[in-house]
Structure 1
Amino acid sequence: MTLSRQKFKDIDLSDPFFDSLKKDYEEFPTWFAKKAEDHAYVFYGDDDKSIEGFLYLKREDGPLTDVTPALPAAIRIKVGTMKINPHGTRLGERFLKKIFDHAITEGAKEVYVTVFEKHSALVALFERYGFVKASTKTTKNGTELVLVKEMLVDKGSTLERYPLVKLGTQAIYLLSIKPIWHTRLLPDSILKSEDASIVMDVSHTNSIHKVYLAGMRGMGRIQVGDVILIYRTTDNLGPARYRSVATSVAVVEESRHISTFPDINAFIRYCQPYSVFELDELKSLWETQDYPHVLRFTYNFALPKRITRGKMIDAMGFDPNEYWGLMRLSKKQLRDVLFAAGLDENLVID
C-alpha cells in the first residue's frame, strides 16, 4: 500500500470507495468538486489504483457555532473527511499519526471530527487516542457526534494523552539506532536538509506504534513509561559530531526479553505488525537471538530540527565519554534538546 498527498482534482471520485460517503452526505460530490485545488491524503491498495483510505484536514481558528453546544474559538485541526477500508493493516492509526503531526505543526490546541454514531469502530479508534464527545451536529443528513481531542491536556493513559509526553518520575534515555534501521522505523525523522517537514512526508510506514530489537547493554533496565530520545548514529558521510543526531521522542509501552516468548510464532505475532523487520529477518533474529531486547514504543513526534552530537556535547553538557548506545538523561538535558530543536515546550509535561 502507498500513501499519496494529492489535489482533490486528481483523485477519482467515481472509485467505489466513495460510495458510502456519497450515501451518508448528499452534498459530498459538490463539496468534493469545490475542493479541487486543496490537498488530501489517499491510501492506495497493492495495485496502486484502488483507494483504501482518504483523509482531509483543515485548520480552523474561530468558534464552532454549528454544533450543540457551541465551542469557543481556538486553533483547531478539523478532520474534514476520514474513511478507511479496514483490513488489518492499522491504517486508522497511520491516519491518526498524520492528524496529530498536522496539529503539532499548526500549533493547534484541539483536533475535532464529526462522525455518525453508527460507525462504531471509527468512534472507538478516536476514543482510544483521547477524543471525547463534546457536542453534536445536526444537518439534513442526520445527527453526528462531535469528538474533540485536546492536544495539550494530560489524560489518564499514554495513548489518551498521545502525542503529549509526560516525564513524571520515569527514566529518560538516549537510544541510538543505526541509519539503516532508523530510516525504516521512523520515516518522519529521516534527515532531509532540503525539507524536514513532517506534514509533507508520505511514507506508508508512518504509524504510532513501533517495535524495535536491540542488543545494547543496559536495555534490560528500560521500563514502561520511560521516555526515549532517539539518536540516529552517523552514516559515515562525515564526522560523527555533525552526522549523529537526535531526531525523535518516544514513550515505552513494553520492554521484553526475547526469552519471554514461548515460541517463534508468538514472537512473530508480537513483532511483525509494528516492526521494521521483514518476516525472514524476524525468523533469523529469533534463531540467532543477537538482539534479545524487544522494545515497543509510541512514536510521539519528530524533532523540527535535528540536534547534532557536537551541539549536545558543546552546548548541553552531554558527556562524550559516556556510552551513547543507551545513555541515561536528565529532564534538563532532554528539555535542552527539545528547546534547541524548536519543539513546542507544552508537548512535554512534568
Structure 2
Amino acid sequence: MNLQSYLIDTNILIGLEDDHAVNPAYARFLSLSTKHKIDVFVHAAAMDDIARDKDLRRRQISVSKLNKYRVLSKRRGLTETELEQDFGTLKKPNDVVDATLLNALKIGAVDFLVTQDKGLHQRALRHSTDMARRVLFISDAADLLVQTYEPKEVPIRHVSEVAAHTIDHEDGFFDSLRDGYRGFDNWWNDKCIKQRRPCWVVYEDENLAGLIVRKDETGDDTDAVTKSTRILKVCTFKVHPEMRGVKLGELLLKQVLWFAQSNAYDLAYLTTFEDQTSLIELLEYYGFVRAGSKADGELIYERSFGSSKLVPKHSETVFQTTRRNYPRFLVTDQVRCFGIPIQEEYHDTLYPDLWEPKQADLFVGASRAESPTRPGNTIRKVYLCRAPSKLAEPGSILFFYKSTSKELPSRAITAIGVLEEVTMATSTKDLMLKTGGRSVYGEKELDAWQASPAKPVKVINYLLVGYVDPPIGYDELKKMQVIRGFPQSIFEIKGKPFEDILSRANLGFDV
C-alpha cells in the first residue's frame, strides 16, 4: 500500500504542541500517522511565520517544536508573482505563506495539506476543486487515515482483538502447541510479542477458549503459493478441545472470512498438518484449497477474495459457487429471494452479534447471546417452521425480518442468508438429526414441535452471509414495496424490490 504524506499548517502545529489539552482530533491524527509511519511535514515557510513573532522566548520555543517534524524545503526560485498567478492576490505576509503551502500541494511534494484556516480552504477552492479536496481539516485528515489504514472491524460479538503480549502464553491452552513445535516459546516471544502481532481471541469464563494469530503479508514476503498483493496469514488457529462442541472453530473462521472480505485482502492462507482433519474439512467447505506444502510437511491452504460480481460456473450449482466464495454470494436472473420472519428470542440466539440490550447489567442471564453458543457461533444455521411457502433451490437469498421486539431493532430486516437445503422432519429424533445442534431449540423445545408424518416440520439450512447495516425498518420496507403489512410467514421478494433491497444492504461487493 502506498503511504500518504501530509503537510501541516502552523495552526495545526500549535494545536499539537501548545500547553493546553490536545483536541481529540489532533491527538488521533498524530497517533495514527505515527502508528502507520505516515510522512508528516511542516514547511520551511512556517519559519517565516515564526520569525515575525516579536517575543524572542516564544519564538525560540516555537522553533524547538518545529524541529520535531520533518521540514519540507522551499522550492528554489519560487516568486510571489508566480504564486499570485496561481493562487490570487497576496496582501499580507501570511498570504504568501499560505500560497507557498498550496504550491507544495500543486507540484505533488505532498499528498494533503492539513489546516484549520478557512481562508486557506477557500483559496484552494478558488484554484480548483481537485486542490480543495486535498486541503483537509484536522478531523477529516484523521478520518482519512482511519479509512485508509485502519482495518474495518467485523461485528462478531464473542471474538475480541488483542495484542499478543496481553495473552498469558504459559496458559495450559498452549501446551499442545509446545508439544507440536519445540520452538514455540521463542517464536511467541520473538515474532508475536516483540512484533506486537494482532490476535483474535475467544474467552469463556475468563479462560482462553479460542485463538487466531494473524499477520499481514505481501507477495514479496510470504509462504503462500499465490503471490498476491494483500495477503492475510493465519499464523495460529487453535480451539480448546473442551470447547469444540460449540463450534468455536467455525466462529473463528467466520472472523477470518468476514475480515478478509471487508478489508479487501486478495488472499488468506494458513498451514496445517494432514492429521488436522476436522480443520481441513472446515477450510475446504468454505473454499480453501490445498496449494502446496512446506519442507516440514505442513500443508498450505489458500483462499482468494474479491469484490467483483460472481459468475456462474457450469460445473457448479449456485450454492456451491456461493459456498466457495463465502461470504460473497451469487445472484442471477434465476436466483430467487425470500423474507423470513423471526421472533426476538430466536433472533438473539442465532445472531448474538446484533444483541444490544439498552441496560446490559439488567439483562444478565436473559439471552443466550451473552456467551458463545453453538447456534450463535455457526456459519451454517438452521431455522424451523411450518410455513406453507415453498422455498426455491439452494442458493436462494434469505432476508431475516426481526418481528416486533422489546429491544431495537424491531420490525426490521437485519440478517442475510443463502439457502443450503430444505428438508422435512417427521419426528423429534429426525429433528435432532437434521438440525445437528445448530438451531435455536433445545431437546424439550424440539419435542414440543411434535413432528410427525402428518405434521412435518420444515428444516431450513442456510449460511449466514452478513448483516444489514443499518437494519431496514418497517417503514422503509413498505416504501420499497418489499412488504405490505406485518409479515407473519415466509414471503417472496421479486423484481425491483429485490434489486432495491440488495442495493440497500450495503454488501461491500457486487451482486
TM-score range, shorter chain: 0.7 to 0.9
Q: Unmatched 5+ residue regions in structure 2? A: 1-156, 359-369
Asked if 1:151 is matched to 2:311, the reply is no
Aligned to 1:253: 420
Secondary structure (helix, strand or coil) at the match of 2:450 reads helix
* Structure holding more helix per residue: 2
Query: In 1, distance between residues paired with 2:248 and 2:438?
Result: 12
Q: Could you say if the C-alpha distance between residues 126 and 237 of structure 1 is closer, same or farther in structure 2, counting changes exceeding 3 Å?
A: closer
Tell me whether 1:99 sits opposite 2:263 in the alignment: no
Of residues 191, 204, 227 in structure 2, which corresponds to 1:71?
227
Asked whether the 8 Å contact 1:63–1:72 carries over to 2, the reply is yes
Contact 1:8 1:40 in 2 (8 A): no
Q: Counterpart in 2 of 1:40?
A: 200
CA offset digits 1:54-85 (Å, max 9, x no partner): 2233455x3253337460313x4322310124
Q: SS where residue 148 of structure 1 aligns?
A: strand
1:285 Cα deviation (Å)?
1.9
Q: Which amino acid aligns with 2:221?
A: T
- 1:191 and 1:336 mapped to 2: Cα distance? 27
Partner residue in 1 for 2:397? 227
Gaps (5+ residues) in structure 1?
A: 194-200
**1:21 and 2:163 aligned:** no
Counterpart-to-counterpart distance in 1, 2:166 and 2:172: 16
Letter in 2 for 1:277: Y
Please name the residue that 1:122 is paired with: 279
Provide the TM-score with structure 1 as the length reference: 0.78
- Equivalent residue pairs, number: 324
Question: Which structure has the highest strand share of the two?
Answer: 1
CA deviation after TM superposition for structure 1 residue 25, in Å: 6.1
Q: Which amino acid aligns with 2:283?
A: F
Question: Is 1:133 matched with 2:304?
Answer: no
Q: State percent identity of aligned pairs.
A: 24
Contact in 2 for aligned 1:285/1:291 (Cα 8 Å): no
Alignment deviations for residues 203-242 of structure 1 (CA, whole Å, 9 cap, x no partner): 4422111111123341x3444332211111221679xxx8
Between the aligned partners of 2:509 and 2:497, the Cα distance in structure 1 is 13
Q: Indicate if the aligned counterparts of 1:229 and 1:334 stay in contact, CA closer than 8 A.
A: no
**Higher-RCO chain (CA-CA 8 Å, sequence separation at least 6):** 1
Greater than 6 Å deviation, 4+ residue runs: 287-291
Deviation at 1:279, TM superposition (A): 1.7
Say what the alpha-carbon RMSD is for the aligned residues. 3.4
Deviation at 1:269, TM superposition (A): 2.5
Matched residue, 2:75: none
How is 1:1-350 mapped onto 2 (pairs within 5 angstroms)? Answer: 3=158, 5=160, 6-22=162-178, 23-24=180-181, 26=183, 27-30=186-189, 31-34=191-194, 38-44=198-204, 48=205, 50-60=207-217, 62-67=218-223, 69=225, 71-74=227-230, 76-86=231-241, 87-137=244-294, 142-152=296-306, 156=316, 157=320, 158-168=322-332, 169-190=334-355, 203-204=372-373, 205-218=376-389, 220-235=390-405, 243-259=410-426, 263-286=427-450, 292-314=457-479, 316-321=480-485, 323=487, 325-330=489-494, 332-346=496-510, 348=511
1:166 alignment partner, SS class: coil
Deviation at 1:177, TM superposition (A): 0.8
Residues 424 and 456, structure 2, Cα contact 8 Å, conserved in 1: no
Aligned residue type for 1:301: G
